[in-house]
Amino acid sequence: MCQFFSSTFIILLGGFLSLVFARQKKFSKVIAVLFLSGGCLLGLLDAAAKLLNPAGASASFRYLDLFFLSFHVDGLSAFFLTAIFAVSLMAAIYSFHYMENEEGGIKTGVNYFFFSVLIASMALVVTAANILSFMISWEMMSLSSFFLVIYSHESAENRKAGYLYFVFTHVGAMFVLAAFGLIYGHTGSFEFAPMAGVPEAVKILIFVLSFIGFGSKAGVFPFHVWLPHAHPAAPSHISAVMSGVMIKTGIYGILRIYAILDFHTPVFGYITLIAGVISGILGVVYALGQHDIKRLLAYHSVENIGIILIGLGIGMIGAATGNPLVAVLGFAGGILHVLNHSVFKSLLFMGAGMVLHQTGTRSIDALGGLLKGMKITGTTFIIGSLAICGLPPFNGFVSEFFIYMGSFKAIPVGSISFAMSVFAIISLAVIGGLALACFTKVVGVVFQGEPRTKAAENVKENGLAMMVPMGCLAAACVIIGVFPKVFIDMALTAVQALGLDYGRVPVEPFGQITGNITFAALLFFVVVLIVMGIRSIYYKNKTTTKSGTWGCGFTQPTVKMQYTGSSYAGSILEFFSAAAPLSEEHPPIKGRFPLKTHYHSHVNDIAELHMKNVVVRPVFYLFDKLRWMQHGDIHLYIGYILLAIVLLLFFI
Amino acid sequence: MMFNPVDIILSFVLLSVLFSFGTDRVLILIKLLGFQGVVISIIPFFIGHDMSTGGTVFTLATLVIRGFIIPLSIFVAIRKGAIRRVVEPIVGYHASILCGLAVIIGATYISGRLDFGSVSGFKLLEPTAIALLVTGMFLLMARRNAIAMVIGYIMMENGIYLVGSGLSVGTRHIVEFGILLDVLAGVMIMAVILRNIKQTFDDVDTALLRTLKD
Amino acid sequence: MVEIVFLTPFITGLVAFFLPKIIGRFLLVLTGAAHLTLSFMLWRDQPQAIFDQYFAVTPEGMLSLLVISLLFFLISIYTVGFLKESQIKSEGLFTGAMLVFLATMTMVTLSDHIMVMWIAIEATTLASAPLINTHRSTASLEATWKYVLICSVGIAMALLGSVLVAFSMGQANVGTPISFSALAGVAKTLDPVWLKAGFVFILVGYGTKMGLAPMHTWLPDAHSEAPSPASALLSGVLLNCAFLGIFKTNKIMVAAGLEDFSGGILMVFGLLSILAAATFILKQNEYKRMLAYSSIENMGIIAFGTGVGGLGVYGAVICMLHHSLIKSSLFLSSGNILLGYGDRLIKNTGNLVNGMPRTFVAFFAGFIGIAGFPPFGLFIGELCIIVAAFKAGFHLAVTVFILSLCVIFAGFANQIMKISFEECNTVIKIQEKASMVWPQYLLLLTSLVLCFFIPDSLNQTISDAVTAIGGGLR
Amino acid sequence: MIQSILLWLAAILAAPFFSGLILKIKAFFGGKKGPPILINYYTLIKLFKKGSVYSNSTTFMFKLGPVISLAASVTALMFLPIAGYDPVFSFNGDVIFVLYALGLGRFFTIAAAMDTASPFEGMGAAREAYFPIICEAAMFMILIFFYRITGELQLSAYFAGSNTQSMWSSAGAPLLFIVISFFIILLTENSRVPVDDPATHLELTMIHEVMVLDHSGPDFALIELGSFCKLIFYSTIISRMILPFESAIFGFPIVMYIAGLLVVYVAVGVTESVTARYRMDKVPQFVLTSFALAFFATIITLEFVK
């Protein structure tokens, strides 16, 4: 525990110092990056060690003479800690060059300060072991991330994003607090202890409340509205951390509550799974419709949270129906996907950050052909895309494979769980296909083809500190994808912390599965090598010439003729138009020789639309009705006093 | 006992209450105020408190303040800025008089219900007190003229004082004197405000004071 | 030796009326410092009062006294800078009134006799009236008029209530003085009906002063029209003083075993106040009014917590403490904004972050604190209250509580974001002097420190105050 | 093991022949003589002999496309039991791996197409990305069906030995639907009429052909070979499903297998000859029917297999 606290302390210290020395910009940046990465490294080693040979650790501090702030690290916490520290480490290194052309040392200092607070509070959230410590660190996390979202507050868009995020996170926290309040109300203690004598209806209520609360942080479908606004607004290394790990704390919260409740009912499973399916499919559909690369990635976070929830839902169903194998497969898959998603999503955000940093635009249809200039960025981005599509031999496939196995194993269990697993499997398949479509769009339009605007022409990549993390993360994608054994073991350690009273989970079947994955991946590599060999043989001493693309007989092709992202996704969006109404805007072409016209399309997020109509408007209406109260007439004011007394006298 | 001076003067007070409902003149209200002040402050002489020298002195002081200083201060305020001396009613005069009757009956009824009677031997004491309270409230809520409202406030205070002395709450005179001083200071300040209002709006119609709202 | 604490500022106040500007300002700060030291001494060795049937040192009173004198000292420092920037006609009146106001509030915290308490609270009204009317504008005049009249009427009710409480002693124990402590001692023998009636009148009366809906109507006008240091005092400590009256009466109720009755009423008024605050914060267009409504909200929270009982009372006391610190800092910052932009309307302000960065830090941090985020202490208070309400099983009430808090936050955040970040091309009229930002920083810092570490002696005082009405962790 | 590998090689080598058969059938229906039956081999050899021309817009992704797609389909074939004999490799859950491997191939084909900055290839890529989404859903529906019956997640459990026969015996009627829906999937995945017309001459209306416009020489040969393998992968499954008969006689399974293949390819050829290409926006409905069939089949299996 000591090592953990010292690492968080180092991180905070780094942030504080960079704020102190903010005037000397360079110096403060160096200090910040050094301290942050050092602290993260320390914490990472600690957490990994705790995972590989499981050993719980806890600490508790007296607080205000009346309460305790207690922290505890078990398998689950350690797993999330690993993800948090790993990604934060990479982001910290990445930020060194990313922040270079920021004006104003103060702003940089502030950014690093809140960045460090964010990392530390995330680490504390996943280790908190009672209500007080959890809520304090939770709110600190929300607060620091809010400041990072409105970091560049000059644009109205970002301000809106910040406001949305602020409100959502606070309301979510209130829901969480309500759930904790119910827990305290029945146990009378602040500690996270398994709840024995609590009526089951209350347990379900607690789960639902906390699911809404944590879901609003994780970006589960109806509560994800803030997410696609906030993540693009933040600087890219922050987006990487937020989208990579911060939203996962919501998942952690759900798991932790599930563990505390210690109540295995399929209802939890159904709720989680259905929420997962909806967020998964809609998330990727909306992502397909985006024109802003960071918004697109943000929506993919919604999708991946959906996949994670599907896994957890399967696990809960398995646990409830007494199928250890299903339960463990589902949970392990979901939890492993947490790690995987944090790896490839932060990688993708870093790539997007590099593109933004070098071209100055986030609009997909303004880019093109970057792969020629940005070899490393492009390659790592493509690897990330393959991973997020869940394709072998990359890490996304491993977790999805586990979830698939779990869902299939859940088929014979019972009629409802049959429907559920069919639901899960089909939606996973559809999600996979859509994700593939979406990322072929991104890769194809952003990195391939010809540059569509001036901004994208002859772009180079530079900044070693930005490329190294991307390389490491890409390597991680491949390693986890090919040799998942050790990571699966980590996930299993985490699963044991859920207290599914199966005792020690039998590792053999999982060892077998991971073995198969490794084998298949290697086999595929071998085949690829062979085919490459054949190809090279046939190309030996052959003449390959370069020329323009075959324009199918058209002789003056221009870059404007390229297929745009919007048109690429158009037909698919049409198919989903019920869930994703597409609003287009283009003036009709007039005259025989039309000169100039434009086309603009926007995919409406139905959750966002309905949030306005269902929540905001009624509230305003209700409170407007009450506004006459303050009418300024003193006679009636005195009347209120009299009224209050008269009414109260009735109750004596 | 046959001849009970307290109840007789209290009945006069009740009459004055009725008057204050009906009148449209600020000056009359002020006079009524003075009368009520005098009456209620001599009540303690009749209720069997220990009339030590301190008590006597204090009671006289009360009489002076309630009966003369307070009404005079308001009168002065009016004089200073010759304020139109009609109370603009929100509730009409006839209606007000009916309200007054209703108030008196109600007060008697209520005081019958809650038996203060056991404390002091006078039947009219509590009805009068309650009547004064409610009248004050009424004037505060039903008169647009700022002065009338201040007068209403003072009547309310008188009522409370009457209740206090009626219930013979064994407080020290010094404390009661403090209360009295507070009331006096309050009235003074209100008078000052009245003058300021008069100077800025050259009217004391509270309809002008409705700008601050949401 | 207790009385000297409120006699000192009283005398200096009377003197200050006739002093020239510079000396008056000096005297203000000096008295603030002296008062701070005096109250600390009072806290260290809790002496007997000379008139011990009227005055006594009670834990809850001590707590508010400490808050008062700390706030007043910092505010007086701010006031010096403020008076330099803003041109007030009769500054002697202002300074004098400030000091007398301080004296009366101190008297409230120290008074133990039920009637003396009333005298003191009424006195605070009278002393603060000139402060509100400092600007001599029609609006401020109207605000003063409403403030004085409504509060006086309300407090008159409280007087009636006190009389009834005294009457509830009946003939049984005439000898006992009508002090809160004595009454709490004999509470069991009091006549419950009269006690309840008295409580109702006192609650409504002092509730008027405390700003509980629906008697809060004067509060936004007064707080927004008064000059910022005065508003800081008004909503920072005056409301607490009024709450003190209710708190002590509630003590008697609890001692008499009527806590369900009083608690229920307190919770209802608390919820009403929070709802009222939500109503007007949602579309507020003046930032000082918004802060005033937020004070109403916090008073509601405190009342609610007191009503909930148990851990809720602890939460309420914590909320009272931190609300004073944070809200006064917010009002002081709003004073800077008003001087800087010369406008009360939110839509005419903006881009505070670049315009007045140091004020922005204080202002936004204050907002964070008042919204109930850590590391500011209000968070702990609200958490305790909510949790306690769940434990006590008031599920519907706490649901309303939480939802309206969410609405308030949404409205508040929206306005604050506008003030802080919207584009705005007003030239800032003043430059931020250290004396006009450091008081806020210190206040917020205090709140921040108290969120994580409360010295044992203070903690003792708090828990004494809480356990007095059956609070505490149970 | 050895014979599995031999069969695997044989399948790969035979794939072009069968594809040639389709051309023959179409020619027959058109009343033409048609190209020689071995035309695809000639084409492949010719292509392998040639050099290549690369567009200036392309990057290494363009060269990687053909390799990966071919590798994907041959890897897929490794896990497929051919003629009821055990596959080369097999493990629990290999179906999922195979499907995703084919997905990987598709990713790179699309990427290679987008690499050329040609509007037509982009158009084709968009369609290639669109229709398989529904196909995958249908595939997994079929998988669920198989799992209901066999309780296994590997191809060998469905198509090796007598497993297919037992499937027929346990759930014959639903399996018919499955066969039809699978045939639809075959048409879609291999971009045949009525989804796509490989023989058309208007790039606007192509899917697969337009994506490989810029490929030439050995690269193009690899692509062609890949698509042949993909086609035979699907047809093998169907042939096993329609003729699952087992017998001790030597070579009987092989004969059955070839017969099945002939049936499938002829069916494809006939379909191409007698039907016209759908309008692009009609295609999704067509593919959805396969999903619907599979779903229906699975639902009624709930009654069959208890």
Cβ distance of C387 and A188 shorter than 8 Å: no
Beta bridge mates, D54:
A546
pLDDT tens, B78-133? 776 555 667 778 888 888 888 888 888 888 887 777 765 555 566 778 888 888 99
Judged against a pLDDT cut of 70, whether residue A458 lies above it is answered with yes
What dihedral do alpha carbons C283, C285, C289, C291 form, nearest 10°?
70
Residue B115, chain A, CB below 8 Å: the answer is: no
**pLDDT on residue A594:** 80
Grade residue C173 by pLDDT with cuts at 50, 70 and 90: low
B107 touches chain A (CB under 8 A): no
Facing A641 at nearest CB: one of C154, C353, C391: C154
Is pLDDT of A223 > 80? yes
Maximal CA-CA distance, chain B: 59
Residue in B153, B163, B214 nearest the CB of C149? B153
Return the number of other C-beta atoms located less than 10 Å from residue A416's C-beta: 13
> Given an 8 Å threshold on Cβ–Cβ distance, is C279 in contact with A182?
no
**For C180-187, what is the mean pLDDT?**
88
- Under-70 pLDDT residues of chain D: 304-306
A-chain residue closest to D285, CA distance: A575
Whether D194 contacts D278, CB under 8 Å: yes
Q: How many domains, in total, are found in chain A?
A: 2
Per-residue model confidence as pLDDT tens digits over A588-602: 888 888 878 888 889
pLDDT (mean) for C227-247: 94
Chains A and C touch (3+ CB pairs under 8 A): yes
Residue from D78, D69, D112, D101 nearest D222 by CA = D69
**Can you read off the two tokens belonging to residue C184?**
């709490």
Q: What is the mean pLDDT of residues B195-210?
A: 84
Pick from A184, A634, A644: CB nearest C214? A644
- Section A279-297 average pLDDT: 95
A486: how many CB neighbours lie within 10 A of its CB?
Answer: 13
- Interface A-D, measured as beta-carbon pairs within 8 A, has a size of 233
**Smallest CA–CA separation between A207 and chain D, in Å?**
31
B168: phi > 0 → left, psi -120 to 50 → alpha, else beta; which?
left
Q: Do chains C and D touch (3 or more CB pairs under 8 A)?
A: no
Judging contacts by C-beta atoms under 8 Å, the chain A residues touching residue D229 are none
Of A135, A188, A638, the CB nearest to C153: A638
Q: Which residues of C touch B167 (CB under 8 A)?
A: 163, 166-167
Tokens of B122: 């006078």
Confidence check: pLDDT of C404 > 80:
yes
Nearest by CB to residue B169, choosing from C54, C113, C167, is C167
Answer whether residue B1 shows pLDDT above 50. no
- Would you say residue A623 lies in a domain? yes
Give the list of residues 6+ apart from residue C55 with CB closer than 8 angstroms, or none.
C2, C3, C49, C110, C111, C112, C113, C116
A351 within a domain of the structure (yes/no)? yes
What are the pLDDT digits (tens) for C270-295? 999 999 999 999 989 999 999 999 99
Q: What is the DSSP letter of B143?
A: B
Omega into D194 within 30° of 0, i.e. cis?
yes
User: What's the pLDDT at D161?
Assistant: 86
Q: What is the pLDDT of residues A367-418, one digit of tens each?
A: 999 999 999 999 999 999 999 999 989 999 999 999 999 999 999 888 888 9
Nearest residue in chain C measured CA to CA from B150? C149
Cβ atoms of residues A93 and A465 within 8 Å: yes
Residue D172 belongs to domain spanning? 2-304
Instruction: Note which residues in 403-442 of chain C have CB less than 8 A from chain A.
Output: 405-407, 409-410, 413-414, 417, 420-422
Please, are residues C12 and C31 in contact by the beta-carbon 8 Å criterion? yes
From residue A624, alpha-carbon distances to A451, A617, A630 in Å are 52, 10, 12
For residue A644, give how far its alpha carbon lies from the nearest alpha carbon of chain C (Å): 7
Question: What gap in Å lies between CA A21 and CA A29, rounded to an integer?
Answer: 9
For B43, how many CA atoms within 13 A lie in the half-sphere containing its CB? 32
Q: Please indicate if any CB of chain D lies within 8 Å of the CB of A390.
A: yes
State the nearest Cα–Cα gap between B160 and chain A, in angstroms. 15
> A256-285: per-residue pLDDT in tens?
999 999 888 999 999 999 999 999 999 999
- The torsion angle over the Cα atoms of residues D249, D254, D258 and D261, rounded to 10 degrees, is 120
Counting as contact any 3 or more CB pairs under 8 A, the partners of A are B, C, D
Q: CB distance from C275 to chain A under 8 Å?
A: yes
Q: Determine phi and psi for A585, rounding to 5 degrees.
A: -150, 105
Mean pLDDT of C164-193: 82
**Higher pLDDT pick, B148 / A176:** A176
Q: Scanning every residue of chain A, which has its alpha carbon at the shortest distance from the alpha carbon of B149? A: A635
pLDDT of residue C471: 67
Residues C267/C307, Cβ–Cβ less than 8 Å = yes
- Chain B residue closest in CA terms to C123: B182
Per-residue pLDDT band for B169 (boundaries 50, 70, 90) equals low
| pLDDT tens figures, C435-468 | 999 999 999 999 999 999 999 889 999 988 898 7
pLDDT of residue B2: 45
Peptide bond preceding A54 in cis form (omega within 30 of 0): no
Q: What pLDDT was estimated at residue B85?
A: 64
Q: What is the reported pLDDT for B116? A: 57
Q: What pLDDT is recorded for position D228?
A: 95
Which of D70, D100, D129 is facing A437, going by the closest CB pair?
D129
Nearest CA in chain B to A627: B214
Q: Do C156 and B160 touch (CB under 8 A)?
A: yes
Q: What is the distance between the alpha carbons of residues A261 and A145, in angstroms, rounded to a whole number? A: 29
Question: Which residues of chain A from 597 to 626 reach within 8 Å of chain C, CB to CB?
Answer: 619-620, 623-624, 626
Does A317 map to a domain? yes
- Structural domain contains residue A401: yes
Position C172 pLDDT exceeds 70: no
Residue C29 maps to a domain: no
The shortest C-alpha distance from B3 to chain C (Å) reads 28
C368 close contact with A: CB closer than 8 A = yes
Q: Is residue B40 scored above 70 in pLDDT? A: yes
Instruction: Give whole-number Cα distances, D77 to B190, D114, D138, in Å.
Output: 99, 27, 20
Mean of pLDDT values over C194-221? 94
Q: Which residue range forms the structural domain that includes residue A617?
A: 609-649
Q: In 3D, which of C46, C164, C154, C168 has the Cα closest to residue C110?
A: C46
How far CA A69 is from CA of A64, C281, C381, D176, in Å, comes to 10, 34, 16, 64
Q: For residue A429, which residues of chain D lie inside 8 Å, CB to CB? A: 136-137, 139-140
Predicted local confidence at residue D67, as pLDDT:
96
Q: Which of A573-587, A594-608, C155-169, D64-78 has the highest mean pLDDT?
A: D64-78
Closest CA to C26 of C81, C92, C80, C103: C80
Q: Does B8 score more than 90 pLDDT?
A: no
Residue of A51, A127, A55 lying closest to A491 (CA atoms):
A51
Residue A435 has pLDDT above 60, yes or no: yes
**Residue C172 in domain:** no
Is residue C84 assigned to a domain? no
Query: Domain count of chain C?
Result: 1
Q: What local confidence, expressed as pLDDT, does residue C127 receive?
A: 94
Do A368 and A486 belong together in one domain?
yes
Residue pair D201/D277 in contact (Cβ under 8 Å)? The answer is no
Residue contact A544–D51, C-beta within 8 A: yes
Residue A278, domain member (yes or no): yes
Q: What total number of domains does chain D contain? A: 1
The shortest C-alpha distance from C169 to chain B (Å) reads 9
Distance from CA of C341 to the nearest CA of A (A): 20
Whether the predicted pLDDT of B3 surpasses 60: no
Interface membership of A185 toward C (CB under 8 Å): yes
Cβ-contact A540, D75 below 8 angstroms:
no
pLDDT tens digits, residue range A2-15? 899 999 999 999 99
**Token pair of C312, please?**
């809720």
Q: Give B168's pLDDT tier (boundaries 50, 70, 90).
A: low
**A642 and B141: CB-CB below 8 Å?**
yes
Q: Is A76 helix (H, G, I), strand (E, B) or coil?
A: helix
Query: Which stretch of DSSP H or E encloses residue D166?
Result: helix D163-170
Residue C444, in any domain of the structure: yes
- Asked if B210 and A632 come within 8 Å (Cβ–Cβ), the reply is yes
Task: Give the torsion through C-alpha atoms of B48, B54, B59, B61, to 10 deg.
Answer: 180
Residues of chain C found within 8 Å of residue A619, distances taken between Cβ atoms: 282, 407
- The C-alpha atoms of residue C273 and residue C269 are separated, in whole angstroms, by 6
3-state DSSP assignment of residue A447: helix
A642 chain-B contacts, CB cut-off 8 A? 137, 141
Size of interface A-B (CB pairs under 8 A): 28
Contacts of A492 (CB under 8 A, 6+ apart): A328, A332, A505, A507, A510
A432 falls within a domain: yes
Q: Can you give the residue range of the structural domain that contains C355?
A: 258-474
Instruction: Give counts: helices (H), strands (E), chain D.
Output: 12, 1
CA distance A631 to chain B (A): 5
Cβ burial of C141 (10 Å; 0-12, 13-18, 19+) is buried
pLDDT given at position B91: 81
